[in-house]
Amino acid sequence: MYESLLKHIAKYLNQSQDPQTALEWVCAEIQQKLPSYDWVGFYFHKIEKKELHLKAFAGKPTDHIVIPFGKGICGQVALSNQKFVVDDVSEQDNYIACSIDVKSEIVVPLFMEGKNVGQIDIDSNTTRAFDKNDEVFLAEVNQRVATYLLRSKMNF
């Protein structure tokens, strides 16, 4: 599944002209194809404000459009440059709840030319929804998106 989905995403990005549409398409595609991916979003760094800004998502609208660096799982990843897998969100102290339905979460940083510039964030309504395969898959998605954004000369 992950392999064919990656190929499909790569093919789409190859012919896509508009970065905003492309990011929204990638979110929707992943959310629709993978049953445990209930919410999918891309946050990008607003470095001068030390904030993450939500640029595209699929799933229920969230109030958390802007997240300060250090706050929640997303904010921690902005500072650590490391992926963060949460099997059970109820066990996290530094966590921002988007919905009471969410049980587990994975956040994988997105690097452009070696710099952490954003992240993909997935919420699941199932506990322990994410494993190593998801980490690898999402890092691959981010790599393709980063290459695409560099090619599109998009500056977030």
Rounded to whole angstroms, the Cα distance separating 73 from 98 reads 12
Which residue's CB is nearer to ligand SME, number 10 or number 96?
96
Q: What is the nearest approach in angstroms of ligand SME to the Cβ of residue 60?
A: 9
Rounded to whole angstroms, the Cα distance separating 26 from 137 reads 13
Q: What is the nearest approach in angstroms of ligand SME to the Cβ of residue 25?
A: 19
Which residue's CB is nearer to ligand SME, number 13 or number 130?
130
Point out the residue whose Cβ comes nearest to ligand SME. Answer: 72
69-105 burial, b for 16+ CB within 10 Å, e for fewer?
bebbbbbbbbeeeebbbbeebeebeebbebeeebbbb
- Give me the residues that bind ligand SME (CB under 6 A), please: 39, 41, 62, 64, 67, 72-75, 95-96, 98, 105, 121, 123
